[in-house]
Structure 1
Amino acid sequence: MKSKKSLLVILMLFAVVFSFAQGGKKLDKIIKRDYQIIECTISKMSDKTVEYSLPGETLQISLDVSQIARIDFASGRSQTFDVNSGNSSPSSGSSAITASQMKPNTIAVLPVPYVNSDTQESSEDMAKFAQNDLYNKLLDKSSNIFPLTVQDLRTTNSLLHKAGIDHNNIDETPIDDLEKILGVDNIVAAKVSYTIGTGATATTYNSGNAKVSDNNKKVKTSDISTTTSNNQTYYYYTVYFDMYKNKDKIYSQTRKPFLAVKDSWMDSVTYLLKRSPIYVKK
């Protein structure tokens, strides 16, 4: 009886350990052409199909490669699939993207990578903030960019998310693919790169009392000086600003703000936007 209980306990422990190991296992990721993302374990690939199993299952599922845009393997390697005139084969070049319904004379604002050029660290929060800032600037100047209309930011970000694209890999995606994904014929792409410096400033204050002798000839002074030191943080920005129309780059400028203050990049974005070919002064 005791041996049966011991065996049961061992089996339960084994099941728990196996379940924990499976839960911590890194999975492959299949990005389909309809933007569906499947997290799985790929067991077999051929020129026509990919076989995989879902987490916690052993059933093998077969998927035609014509339905796949990209596979991100658990190892970190990515593979894109190009499908032309019925010929399905893996490709290391650009991926074929199912186009969204095209909206002519529409401009989309891409996420704006916000990168510390010293550490190469990218801030997701600032990338969203910078994208939102540029989007609002375009909305505020809608009469100046007529006949263009600005695609809603939620629509843009939702379509990019379904395609597995964010501020980290936006620069690696071809513009023609982005136009197909977003269904627009105009795109504005910006990037903010910066470094941070510090400096100390010293301020001296003098105060004193003068005493005059009775004969009005001798002057005695008592001076007191105080020096205050302050540390100042400086932000040195470079703003990259590109515009595309029907895959062609129609405007490309780089600007460094005159002032090295925290939000000076915003002034550079405004400056470059007003000098872009889509902007007409009223």
Structure 2
Amino acid sequence: MKKIVNYAVICLFLVITCAVLPSFSQAKEDVITMKNGEKKTGKIASVTKTTVKFSYSHETAEYEIDKSDISKIDFASGRTETFDQASPATASAESNVPAPAVSAEQRKNKVAVLPFEIETNDQSLATPTMSKQVQESCINALRSQSPFQTIQDPMVTNNILTKKNLTAADLSMYTPKEWAEILGVEYVVIGAYSIQNKGTSTFGSGSASYNSKTNNDKTKGTAYSASNSYTTVNYDTHVNVAIYNDHGEQIFSDSKAPAFGGVDTYKGALKTLMKRSPFGRK
């Protein structure tokens, strides 16, 4: 009888052990739930800002998993960490819109001029250098007309754009409101300079003179002639400017076509346009 009781106790112990060990083993493992629904069970070695180092159950090899692909982690300790809700900065990056640089109050009364878009049929003119030259000329014209606004230095504006890998070709990527927030200003000036090559013109002139050997005899002597010519490129130019506030509202839009076309005729046109703008001296 005693042997039967001992045997029953041993059997009960084995049953309890078999039931407890699997659950105990599972409690000691971490579970990663991916955003696609897949679950990975094993041991998390470390967690960084961007990745999670992970080993599968009964394996020693470590794998790196991007946090952006993880929905949540159920740690063996019982703690759960979720990754579905991105921070404001992450959400902004995912929507491809940079987070505002400064607050609305800090942007107050500040004006930034974006590099001008160059529209031309002469590709030798459609360069970043030309774009920034027109931008700087617009800033100079604006400064001469707007003593009460803070005009952002073009180096500051362009440095912000460079850090975000943006150029004048990216103007359509963001709304005027977003551009104002990116550049940290209340007003943003967006412009385009159209310069179309209309061909060339050649001009020339000539002259002749007679050198007499004697004052009284002009039938003898030597004739001299001279000629010169030069060629000019004719351009049809047009400057367009629009100004927006940080609410995305257009407060000014105008254009000017200089009377005489030339590569640098935008300078005079911008002076006129900035005088007409809300910032101009009336």
**TM-score band, normalised by shorter chain:** 0.5 to 0.7
Q: 1:101 is aligned with what amino acid?
A: S
Provide the residue aligned with 2:66 in structure 1: 61
CA RMSD of aligned residues (A): 3.5
Partner of 1:18: none
> Distance in 1 between the 2:230 and 2:155 partners?
43
Which residue of structure 2 lines up, in the alignment, with residue 113 of structure 1? 117
Please name the residue that 2:242 is paired with.
242
Equivalent pair of 1:242/1:251 in contact (CA under 8 Å): yes
1:111–1:170 CA contact under 8 A, matched in 2: no
Bigger CA radius of gyration: 2
Match of 2:141 among 137, 153, 158: 137
SS of the equivalent of 1:169 reads helix
- Residues 32-47 of structure 1 mapped to structure 2, 5 A cutoff: none
Q: Name the structure with the higher strand share.
A: 1
Alpha-carbon shift at residue 226 of structure 1 (Å): 4.1
Decide whether aligned partners of structure 1 residues 133 and 208 sit closer, same or farther in structure 2, where only a CA change above 3 A counts: same
Structure 1 unaligned residues grouped into runs of 5+ = 1-43, 71-79, 82-94
Alignment of 1:1-282 (within 5 A): 59-63=64-68, 66=86, 67-69=90-92, 81=95, 95-99=96-100, 100-102=102-104, 103-119=107-123, 122-143=126-147, 146=148, 148-196=149-197, 197-208=199-210, 226-245=226-245, 246-281=247-282
Per the normalisation by structure 1, the TM-score is 0.59
Q: How many residues align?
A: 202
Residue in 2 that maps onto 1:10: none
**Structure 1 residues 65, 264: CA separation in 2 closer, same or farther (over 3 Å shift)?**
farther
Change (3 A) 1:125 1:59: farther
User: Does the Cα contact within 8 Å between 2:244 and 2:250 map onto a contact in 1?
Assistant: yes
TM-score, normalized by length of structure 2? 0.59
Query: In 2 relative to 1, CA 237–171 (structure 1 residues): closer, same or farther, beyond 3 Å?
Result: farther
Task: Tell me the residue number matched to 1:36.
Answer: none
Is 1:122–1:168's contact at 8 Å kept on the other side of the alignment? no
Q: Which amino acid aligns with 1:62?
A: K
Identity score, percent: 24
Structure in which a larger fraction of residues adopt helix: 2
**The residue matched to 1:176 in structure 2 has which SS?**
helix
For the 8 Å contact 2:237–2:261, the answer to whether it is kept is yes
Separation (CA, whole Å) in 2 of partners of 1:45 and 1:134: 49
Cα distance in 1 for residues equivalent to 2:35 and 2:130: 39
Counterpart of 1:240 in structure 2: which amino acid?
A: N
Distance apart, 1:191 and its partner CA = 1.4
What amino acid maps onto 1:61 in structure 2?
Answer: D
Opposite residue 276 of structure 1, the aligned amino acid is: S
SS at match of 2:206: strand
1:121 Cα deviation (Å)?
Answer: 6.7
For residues 111-164 of structure 1, the C-alpha deviation after alignment (integer angstroms, 9 at most, x for no partner) is 112342354973111212222222233233332xx2x22123333223333333
Distance 1:263 1:220, change over 3 A: same
CA distance in 2 between counterparts of 1:166 and 1:65 reads 31
Find the aligned partners of 1:195 and 1:176 in 2 and give their Cα distance.
Answer: 31
> Structure 1's 140 and 277: CA in aligned 2 closer, same or farther, altered over 3 A?
closer
Give the conservation status (yes or no) of the 8 Å contact 1:193–1:239.
yes
Give secondary structure in 2 for the equivalent of 1:192.
strand
Q: Distance in 2 between matches of 1:193 and 1:45?
A: 48
